[in-house]
């Protein structure tokens, strides 16, 4: 198999973790006879410094012409003073919209060696396996009108939460289809008691559910879900929710596993998917060989599954990660008593070793 991957390392620790994922993909390619061609492009703050824009046209074209996109992270204090439309984070919204990536899949599954790294009791988190399906191109991040305007007493900031039948139904389809391959349970998260957009959300999810009688559907308000994720996370299988609610809840779910640095994501919906860890650019540790590369490496494994249908190869990566953790190797964010502290590159070295031995 020959595939072209557009690589967007971005800012901060993105420049350290993405090369580690590439090393793993190259190893998989050599082992299984696949050829992965990597084409690099700029995004976020690095693109602003080079071109003045967070998402240059050349980057977008390279993403559209690829078979998949691997993204690191964007943003940092250096660019926070820029006008809103030119900030690094706008590149994420732009590329998601332009590639039609309306579904963000964020799994939160705990590795047994990391149960002690979570701040919750072992009996609460042991065995959790949650998939958050986040709507990605609608809702309050894209709704109009939006802006900041002057008033008689100061200023007024406003954003608009908007969802259409089509947007809700297509993300609900993704959630129900995913649940069929798991425990056949979807929990739809909204705020239908106070928001009209959530009232429509609930109505349309119920309508789609009629086509999936083998899957159980539950509804939960977002504030209750935030509480239940901490109280009893094992009650969840697939969570489907809006753009903003999914942004928040998936980060909360990530911390159940011990560190946000552990978790991957896949953004899908069109012909080209984008794969990235769910954490940010972490500028405070950038360039120090401290970042956890596992979320990015696991994102590469998701790419193999969702973009290339290489499930065996992805499982080999997952097993190598698990074995490395069982051997006691830890980056700083998941370090605990009795484990061996390693850096970004060294963690990947051990994963590669376990790939070879697997």
Q: Which residues are catalytic?
A: 141, 191, 223, 247, 251
SS (H, E, C) 107-173: EEECCHHHHHHCCCCHHHHCCCEEEEEEECCCHHHCCCCCEEEEECCEEEEECCCCCCHHHHHHHHH
Torsion of CA 249, 255, 257, 260, to 10 degrees: 100
Token pair of 348, please? 């990947």
C-alpha to C-alpha distance for 257 and 64, rounded to whole angstroms = 33
CB atoms within 10 A of CB 77: 11
CA dist 42 and 50 (Å) reads 8
> Which residues is 106 bridged to in the sheet?
132
Residue 125 backbone phi and psi in degrees, to 5: -105, -15
What's the rounded Cα separation, in Å, for the pair 358 and 354?
Answer: 6
Structure token digits, residue 23: 């090393």
């Amino acid at each position: 198999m020959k595939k072209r991957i557009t690589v967007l390392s971005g800012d901060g620790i993105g420049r350290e973790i993405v090369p580690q994922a590439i090393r793993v993909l190259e190893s998989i390619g050599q082992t299984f006879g696949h050829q992965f061609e990597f084409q690099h492009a700029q995004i976020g703050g690095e693109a602003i410094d080079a071109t003045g824009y967070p998402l240059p046209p050349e980057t977008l074209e390279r993403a559209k012409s690829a078979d998949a996109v691997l993204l690191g992270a964007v943003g940092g204090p250096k660019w926070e003073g820029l006008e809103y439309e030119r900030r690094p984070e706008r590149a994420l919204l732009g590329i998601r919209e332009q590639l039609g990536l309306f579904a963000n899949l964020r799994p939160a599954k705990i590795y047994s060696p990391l149960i002690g790294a979570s701040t919750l009791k072992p009996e609460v988190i042991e065995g959790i396996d949650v998939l958050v399906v986040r709507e990605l191109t609608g809702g309050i991040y894209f709704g109009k009108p939006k802006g900041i305007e002057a008033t008689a007493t100061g200023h007024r900031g406003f954003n608009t939460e908007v969802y259409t039948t089509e947007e809700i139904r297509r993300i609900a389809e993704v959630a129900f289809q995913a649940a069929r391959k798991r425990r056949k349970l979807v929990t739809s998260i909204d705020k239908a008691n106070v928001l009209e957009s959530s009232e429509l959300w609930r109505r349309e999810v119920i309508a789609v559910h009629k086509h999936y009688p083998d899957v159980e559907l539950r509804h939960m308000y977002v504030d209750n879900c935030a509480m239940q994720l901490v109280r009893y996370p094992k009650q969840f299988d697939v969570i489907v929710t809006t753009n903003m609610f999914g942004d928040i809840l998936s980060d909360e779910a990530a911390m159940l596993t011990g560190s946000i640095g552990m978790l991957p994501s896949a953004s899908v919906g069109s012909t080209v998917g984008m794969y990235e860890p769910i954490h940010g650019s972490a500028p405070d540790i950038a360039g120090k060989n401290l970042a956890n590369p596992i979320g990015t490496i696991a994102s590469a494994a998701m790419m193999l599954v969702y973009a290339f249908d290489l499930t065996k190869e992805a499982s080999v990566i997952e097993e190598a990660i698990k074995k490395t953790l069982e051997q006691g190797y830890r980056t700083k964010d998941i370090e605990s008593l009795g484990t061996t502290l390693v850096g970004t590159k060294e963690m990947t070295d051990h994963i590669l070793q376990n790939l070879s031995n697997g």
